[in-house]
Amino acid sequence: MDILIKDLMRTNAKSRGFLLTLFLLMLGTTTKAQVGHVLQGVGGVNMSMGGAATAQPLDINGALLWNPASLSKFDGQILSFNAGLFFSDPSISSTVPTQNGPFSGTTGDDRGVSVLPALAYVWGKDESKHTFGISAFGVSGFGVTFPESQDNPITMPQSSGGFGHIESDYALLQLSFAYSYQLTDKISLGIQPNFNYATLEIGPNPLAAPSQTLGYPNSDKATAFGIGAQIGLFYDSGSGLKIGASYKSKQIFNDFSFNNTYLDGSEAPGVDFNMDYPAIYSVGLGYSMGDFDYALDYRFIDYENTDGFKKSGWQLAESGDFSGFPTGAVQGFGWQSISVVSTGLQYKGIQNLPLRIGYTYSENPIRDEFVFMSSPATAVIKNAFQFGFSYKLNPRFSLDVAYHHGTSSGSTSGPLLNPTPDSAGGPWNADTNPTGAIPGSEVAYDMTTDLVVVGFSYILGR
């Protein structure tokens, strides 16, 4: 225990003060970071490797995000700061049957550029088996801004049967403290408690039951706090082969408490909603030989056992004249668990200029029957391509750059849903049509993303 305390206190006061200042700045900017719901990578180095880092710790950001045990590969005090400019181009289209034939339209996103920051700091001594780390990453987010339009059924005004202006903004900042212990010269263990801060704003708010005369309300920006942890195992053969595995637990949050307002400005009933962050299982393989470093990661993201994502369909009234019938509020996204594969290659043959390429494949978490309910969260990127480089100005300072392009590789589509019971002229029936799918209708969305990351890493001392 004395060794742990001494290693921790060796961090100089100036470094701690600078770190605290950057953390406070990030609290004000992370709410703009959206790269799908789960971030595939963080920082210029890790992002350019496609996010693969579970068994190939090329920088402290990837190690802190995906496997704290691999921090044992770093010595001295290392500070890293990255900032990314994120551009997305989602669009939503819909079709409804009418007496004059199908009525279809498409609406593009009006959202601007988002900022994606990442801050990390690691310290340890050459002779010590203990390595420590602290990080603040925007690890999750989604957001869309689809303007109201008379040319698209789903974005028509609520008075005309659509949703009108659709906007969402979700972001999650994760503050983590990591510790790695080197069991042998080849095997390390790591543990990392996580503290999370999330914000969510939705308009119209589908979590609230609509008024028969005023429609769905808009929500304010609600906040929630969560806790969780990550554990990891890292093996370095010493001859090039590396193996890693980690488990990031479900991040448990308190409820978002929304204050809602109808479109005419009047107050609407508030609503609470719980949305946790899913557990993530990662295994990785790394191999280094000469001027090449290769990384391959597999991840399983467990949405199906996560509050906010596992429930689906409409909420049903529990009492009153309409007991057993839909209220018009949704229960959750109804997402399925997914697999993600990330791979990357680094080439170090050019002095002071390592080059990297990466690729990420992700399954689609959105089920066809619940595409409509994920309209405010079109976070579907199937294929992502990355490249980047670092420029080492001197033995201590490195400039890191990455570019990412992602695509949904086609549309995610399903039927439009209506909770009106068939007894009242709608499509919903508890036995034959429990989602309220409208025959002959469709809602679909696709998306591309682009991200430019610039950062630096600096070795403060050994």
pLDDT of residue 12: 43
d(CA 377, CA 379): 5
428 - beta bridge partners? 421
Residue 84: CATH number of its domain: 2.40.160.60
- Identify residue 257 by its one-letter amino acid code: S
**239 pLDDT higher than 60:** yes
d(CA 134, CA 120): 6
Phi-psi region of 321 (alpha: psi -120 to 50; beta: other; left: phi over 0): alpha
Measured on CA atoms in the order 302, 305, 309, 310, is the torsion positive or negative? positive
Asked which of 189-203, 246-260, 320-334, 338-352 is least confident by mean pLDDT, the reply is: 320-334
Q: What is the mean pLDDT of the chain?
A: 90
pLDDT of residue 321: 81
What are residue 127's phi and psi, to 5 degrees? Answer: -85, -5
Per-residue pLDDT, averaged over 113-130, amounts to 91
* pTM reported for the whole predicted model: 0.90
Q: What percent of the chain has pLDDT over 90?
A: 81
- Tell me the per-residue pLDDT of 16-32, one tens digit each, with 9 for 90 and over: 444 444 444 444 443 33
Per-residue pLDDT, averaged over 253-272, amounts to 95
Burial class (CB in 10 A: 0-12, 13-18, 19+), 73: buried
End-to-end CA distance of the chain: 21
pLDDT of residue 377: 83
d(CA 187, CA 219): 49
Higher pLDDT, 184 or 12: 184
User: Which ranges constitute the DSSP H helices of 207-274?
Assistant: none
Which residue in 271, 148, 258, 145 sits closest to 200, CA to CA? 258
d(CA 154, CA 150): 9
| Domain of 58, in residue numbers | 2-461
pLDDT of residue 110: 85
- Tell me the per-residue pLDDT of 390-423, one tens digit each, with 9 for 90 and over: 999 999 999 999 999 999 998 899 999 999 999 9
d(CA 387, CA 342): 13
Q: Give yes or no for a contact between 50 and 384, defined as CB atoms under 8 angstroms apart.
A: yes
Per-residue pLDDT, averaged over 178-186, amounts to 97
Per-residue pLDDT, averaged over 75-79, amounts to 94
Per-residue pLDDT, averaged over 239-258, amounts to 98
Q: Name residue, tokens 């993201």.
A: 301
- Tell me the per-residue pLDDT of 277-330, one tens digit each, with 9 for 90 and over: 999 999 999 999 999 999 999 999 999 999 999 999 999 998 888 889 999 999
pLDDT of residue 2: 40
Reported as a pLDDT band with limits 50, 70 and 90, residue 114 is confident
- Identify residue 447 by its one-letter amino acid code: M
pLDDT of residue 462: 65
Number of domains present in the structure of the chain: 1
d(CA 64, CA 78): 12
What 3-state DSSP class applies to 66?
A: helix
Q: Give yes or no for a contact between 63 and 75, defined as CB atoms under 8 angstroms apart.
A: no
